[in-house]
Amino acid sequence: MKKGILGTFLASAAFWAVLPGAAGAADKFPEKSVRIVVPYPAGGPVDGISRALANQLQAKWKQAVVIDNRPGANEIIAADFVAKSAPDGYTIFAATEAALTVNPFLYRKLPYSAAKDFAPVTRVIDIPMVVVVPSAVPVQTMQDFIALAKQNTSTPLAYGSSGQGGVNHLPLAMLEKNEGITLNHVPYKGAAPIITDLIANTVQISAIAVSVAEPHIKKGSLRGLAVSAESRLASLPDVPTFKELGMRDIGARFGVGFVVPAGTPAPVIKTISDEVAAILNDPAFVKQYVAPMSYVATSKGTEEYKAFLQRDASVQQERVTAAGVKLD
């Protein structure tokens, strides 16, 4: 990626632009079924929160709101599909930083432009992650794991991620760099298959969304070593933060946001954003779908999400550079 890309990424007049639509475009929206494209398989956190929101939106709109799972290639498959969809609000992309602010610094060529092909709708949630190992791995702490990794240089321990450059690939790549260890990266299409292979000890470590890992930690099939958060989480009170351990935080956290194809009428975007915000501000919804998962509801509207994406592009460029990850 050329050195000046961040300036272009931020300064482009088209960056996260929302084009005005015809007057009254939102008055009749939606008149047919709406699709939410999820870039991961069913069962993971992005899929779960998207389905919960879809059910609420369907009830409000009196139209079907369906989930379309299109996993793989670090969200590129789903992103490319949405980028080429009609800009009418009927195709919504439940994206994470991977598609929107990481891939542009990982790949020289993408089939979509994160800067030009999408218009932001709203940020939905932030998701903290926990670094876990199988119970079969003979370590109790992060320091134990690092020591074990340093002993296994001829046959490196393996870590699972959702794909090259994904939300749980860069954190583990940063762990390697920070601690001077070598691990074998095994990419998957989502959290569910990673969990399966972790429990089977096919891979020995991963960073997994707290909501996904928590049941397995409490059951004893996985062991939590550290959470990437400012303080310990109520759902995992026995798992320390990286700060407590005196280690550099590896940034194992991500968020879900809704974007639509660029050119979608602004009134339609506002309708979707306002409806999602109303759901996320509903205490009953938060109690059932957000708080139990250790998520943080973050819906603040289109302008705030646009500003977040601009800031995060700078952060992710630094992380990709520090991790030394380039995919083409």
- Helix (H) or strand (E) holding 301, with range, is none
Predicted confidence (pLDDT) at residue 21 exceeds the cutoff of 50: no
Confidence of residue 53 (pLDDT cuts 50, 70, 90): very high
Q: Is the backbone peptide bond immediately before 30 cis, with ω within 30 degrees of 0?
A: yes
Q: Which of 227, 243, 264 is the endpoint of a domain? A: 227
Residue 1 has what pLDDT? 46
Six-digit token string for 204:
């020995």
Q: Say if 115 falls within a structural domain.
A: yes
Six-digit token string for 104:
């542009």
Whether 66 and 133 share a structural domain: no
Whether 122 and 258 share a structural domain: yes
Q: Which of 209, 227, 245 is the endpoint of a domain? A: 227
pLDDT tens sequence across 233-272: 989 999 999 999 999 999 898 999 999 999 999 999 999 9
CA distances (Å), 117 to each of 18, 263, 281, in order? 10, 8, 29
pLDDT tens sequence across 279-326: 999 999 999 999 998 898 998 889 999 999 999 999 899 888 877 777
Percent of the chain at pLDDT exceeding 70 = 92
Confidence of residue 7 (pLDDT cuts 50, 70, 90): low
Confidence of residue 25 (pLDDT cuts 50, 70, 90): low
Whether 178 and 205 share a structural domain: yes
Cα gap 225→245, rounded to integer Å: 10
Average pLDDT over the chain reads: 90
Residue 218 has what pLDDT? 96
Let me know if 80 is exposed, middle or buried by CB neighbors in 10 A (0-12, 13-18, 19+). middle
Task: For residues 92-115, give the mean pLDDT.
Answer: 95
- 323 Cβ contact list (under 8 Å, min separation 6): 170, 173, 174, 177
Q: How many domains does the chain have?
A: 2
Whether 78 and 45 share a structural domain: yes
Residue 284 has what pLDDT? 97
Whether 122 and 262 share a structural domain: yes
Residue 323 has what pLDDT? 74
Residue 208 has what pLDDT? 95
Is 227 within 8 Å of 207 (Cβ atoms)? no
Whether 222 and 146 share a structural domain: yes
Rg of the chain in Å (alpha carbons): 20
Whether 176 and 189 share a structural domain: yes
Cα gap 124→273, rounded to integer Å: 10
Task: Pick 130 or 14 by higher pLDDT.
Answer: 130
Cα gap 114→120, rounded to integer Å: 11
Residue 20 DSSP label: -
Q: Say if 87 falls within a structural domain.
A: yes
Q: Which of 165, 192, 227 is the endpoint of a domain? A: 227
pLDDT tens sequence across 135-169: 999 999 999 999 999 999 899 999 999 877 778 88
Residue 301 has what pLDDT? 87
CA distances (Å), 100 to each of 65, 95, 104, in order? 23, 7, 8
Percent of the chain at pLDDT exceeding 90 = 73
- 199 Cβ contact list (under 8 Å, min separation 6): 134, 216, 221, 222
Query: Which residue range is the domain that position 289 belongs to?
Result: 5-126+254-323
Whether 154 and 217 share a structural domain: yes
Q: Say if 239 falls within a structural domain.
A: no
Task: For residues 90-107, give the mean pLDDT.
Answer: 95
Whether 135 and 167 share a structural domain: yes
Predicted confidence (pLDDT) at residue 42 exceeds the cutoff of 60: yes
Q: What is the pTM of this model?
A: 0.81
Whether 197 and 266 share a structural domain: no
pLDDT tens sequence across 185-213: 999 988 889 999 999 999 999 999 998 89
Residue 26 has what pLDDT? 64
Predicted confidence (pLDDT) at residue 22 exceeds the cutoff of 70: no
Task: Pick 28 or 164 by higher pLDDT.
Answer: 28
Residue 192 has what pLDDT? 87
Residue 211 has what pLDDT? 87
Six-digit token string for 54:
């879809």
Q: Say if 234 falls within a structural domain.
A: no
| Locus of tokens 């050119």 | 263
Query: Among candidates 244, 99, 221, which has minimal Cα distance to 165?
Result: 99
